[in-house]
Amino acid sequence: MSKVTLTVNGVKKTVDVSPDTVLLDLLRDTLHLTGTKQSCDRKGQCGACTVIVNGKAVRSCLRKVVDLEGAEVISIEGLGTPDNPHLIQEAFVLAGAIQCGFCTPGMIMAAKVLLDANPNPTLADIKKALAHNLCRCTGYTKIVDAVRLAAQFVRGETTPEAVRAAIPDKPLGVSHPRPSAMQKACGLAKFSADYYFDNALEIACAHAFANYARIKSVDISEALKMPGVVGILTEKDMRGTNRVREAITDKPLLMEDMVRSYGDPVAIVAAETRAQARAAAAAVKIELDVLKPMMTMEEALAPNAPQLHDWSPNLISTTPHIHGDAEKALAASEYVVEASFSTQVNHQAPLEPEVTVAYLDGKGDNAELVVIGRSINIHSNAAQLAESLNWDKVRYIEAYSGGQFGQKSAIITEAIAGAACLHFRRPVRYVPSLAESFFLSPKRHPYTMTYKMGADKDGKFTALWADMYINKGAYYLLGPLTIGRTIHMLSSAYKIPNVWASCKLYYSNNASGAAARGAGPPQSNFAVESIIDMLAEKVGMDPLTFRKHNSLKPGEERSTGAKVDQFEFPQLCDIIEPHWKRAKKDAADFNAKNETVKRGVGLGVHAFGIGGAGDSGTVTVEMNPDDTVTIYGAIADPGEGNDSMLTQITAHVLDIPMNRVKLATRDTVNTVGMGPAAGSRMTYIGGGALQNGVEQMRKAMEEAGSKTYEGLKKAGKPVSFKGIKQLKKGNWNPETGQGDSNESLVHNIQMAEVEVNTETGEVSVLKMTTAVDAGIIINPKVVEGQLEGGMDQGIGFALREEYIHGKTIDWKTFKFPTIEMMPETEIIFQETPRPNGTLGGTGIGEMTMISTAPSITNAIYHACGVRMNHLPASPDKVKEALAQKK
């Protein structure tokens, strides 16, 4: 150990450290300055740990403390507080640059160093300064806006007070800063890994590194002898079922006799430190009889393929979707195109790993197991954990979540931490490495698709035929969700009178598929929008004109047989038309002057279903003695802005200041069920339940002639109201894929402008323009942030990202999009009130993710004449396609 003296946030510290201790660990584990975050495995790839050392931006995971004698260190906590924030923290809050907030401290520290040296930075300067800082939520646009606003503050051109004063004094339709934003900007929002307890154990899992194998033996003897190890659990030591209840409980928490997917956990190691736990986990000897894996459709569905699970053949299900007679209509069509498409295994990539903390509150069999995780509502958490762990007293607390996007839809790490806590009777922290997170978590399903589409002589769609194979991976998890959404939204914004589709779900040894932003439509809609472009070319019609020509109209049927009562898509086509004409001309002018680099423009469309049949939510609204109003409900907010939505709806309906609204949404002690913050449902369902509750409170206020607690009490009125949103049950026919599936639709048409280097195959997205109608918008900046983030994820899905078992182990191998890839964005809102929406609004989180990939691949074709039907459209694939074209 060595003594090192350094100054941290203006305070001199003398610390004893080992030669390998990095600054990140000193700040977090020793000084408990937890605003500095860790995402990557100390490889300097994420920038979340950025601090300032001697005036320079430093990734603290790379800097050893022994090298910092006499150094001046500033972490996010030393920059400002909510009561006295730094100008840059103010700018990030006011610009809407904060969603989940996990990356925010590192971004702010990097921006501070930039603006100290250069108070008038260019876009290129900002991108260079933040090149090491990753963000999955925002798409970087609002972050750039924040740095530019901060620069204005620094130069004295305006002030935070002036910017706040310009915000209209009304709740609805106004870009108010998120209630949680300043806490996140100051590094005070507590994520799961920020909870520390005395006498806590750190745990790690021993994993089996094979795609498919029989477990012959698990030898923990040597690992038990290692320093700091308290104990090791295998499947024989697990309480309860050793499973978490899903649709099908085919995934053990700890493997029993088989390994079906790379990295399956086999043992839990508990030790005094994380390093000791991980070292001992690596020393657990797992003897395997390695079998030939089934990774592809052909391998998994071969006649002699081994059956992966006892309960089902590898072909789990075939789900039909039949509307009219597609075969007959195609045979009679004037124009028909056919093509095959595929999408890759895609990781959702929130920056925060699936950290879980668990402890016991009380003693003996009456103790309550308290689990601190990331999403209170996705799981019916407490009930599922109680069953899994055979412990009926379970409380779930949601920490701030560093993004989600569907990845954290399973409660595997919560159950693992809970099992260790109950066994060892000590608090437990489970902090998976990023590499562990990659193989622990479910992914986006890869699809293999063959589509046929027809049109008549007038260019009207006649039929769509779609045969889809969906790679479930090794475990079932949320299988029906993806199939249902694929079918419900297959015909998108179009009138297609005849549709035949089949979704075949099959097991493989691939990573398990589950929820991922969009969950099904990003894959199927990629094929729909691609083949529509191909058909437009064959018909000889402009792609935009062709889409508008085939739009649904009010009173007409979607391919599910459900009629639409309103339909705003044709107006969106009109809105995008001048942008489309301008972009085509720009591309033609550029291409006339350039040989190697070519530009193109493409479209993508989606009509996304909101409000699934039978969905429901409940909240409680309560007036407090100090006249504040508290919202109780399990409404998670992993970054999409539900705190703003709840606050602004309440203030609008009750006509009270927003600072009178409080939220109690993170603890099962005082919340009621709501379902997941997924499927873009929370404004529609959670917000709808809230609207019902606050309208009851408003009526009581009007009858009492008072908006105060005392006034309601004196008038004999209740001060607590239950708000409910209950959608009618659908009439879905699983034999035909027909029936009502969603109560409302949101629409967008998206345009990508790209540049293709025909020598290297490199594709750059120059600009994304989207015209959107999602009803009445509660907070424009929040909605813009969702759209920009969705476009960024769609760009990664289209061009770069692919998860490969055993090879994708960090953000570099995943090819995470950086700020340097950020395109220009333009968002155009059309607000058509939805009759059943929350104050006329719906949800927006997934839609632009869905339409981004086809807009880009269609633009690639327009640029250089090659169809990229198999994602991702990586440089090697584009280059190969161009070579084949020659």
Residues marked active site are found at: 846
| Location of structure tokens 């990030």 | 92
Q: How far is CA 343 from the centre of its chain?
A: 18
- Beta strand pairing call for 742-757 and 720-726: unpaired
- Beta strand pairing call for 461-473 and 258-259: unpaired
Phi, psi torsion values for 620, nearest 5 degrees: -120, 135
Measured CA to CA, the distance from residue 418 to residue 70 in angstroms comes to 42
Measured CA to CA, the distance from residue 861 to residue 539 in angstroms comes to 17
Q: Report which of 570, 507, 535 is spatially closest to residue 451, judged by C-alpha positions.
A: 535
DSSP 374: S
Measured CA to CA, the distance from residue 776 to residue 563 in angstroms comes to 22
Q: How far is CA 789 from the centre of its chain?
A: 9
Cα–Cα distances in Å, from 630 out to 396, 524, 650, 694, 866? 20, 42, 10, 11, 56
> Do you know the residue count of the chain?
886
Helix, strand, coil % over all residues of the chain, rounded to 5 = 35, 25, 40
| Location of structure tokens 């309480």 | 239
Q: Tell me if residue 751 falls in helix, strand or coil.
A: strand
Measured CA to CA, the distance from residue 739 to residue 446 in angstroms comes to 26
Which amino acid does the sequence have at 409?
S
With contact defined as beta carbons under 8 Å apart, do 61 and 22 qualify?
yes
Q: Tell me if residue 339 falls in helix, strand or coil.
A: strand
Residue 347, both tokens: 């990781």
Secondary structure of 619-634 in the HEC alphabet?
Answer: EEEEECCCCCEEEECC
Measured CA to CA, the distance from residue 271 to residue 202 in angstroms comes to 6
With contact defined as beta carbons under 8 Å apart, do 253 and 243 qualify?
yes
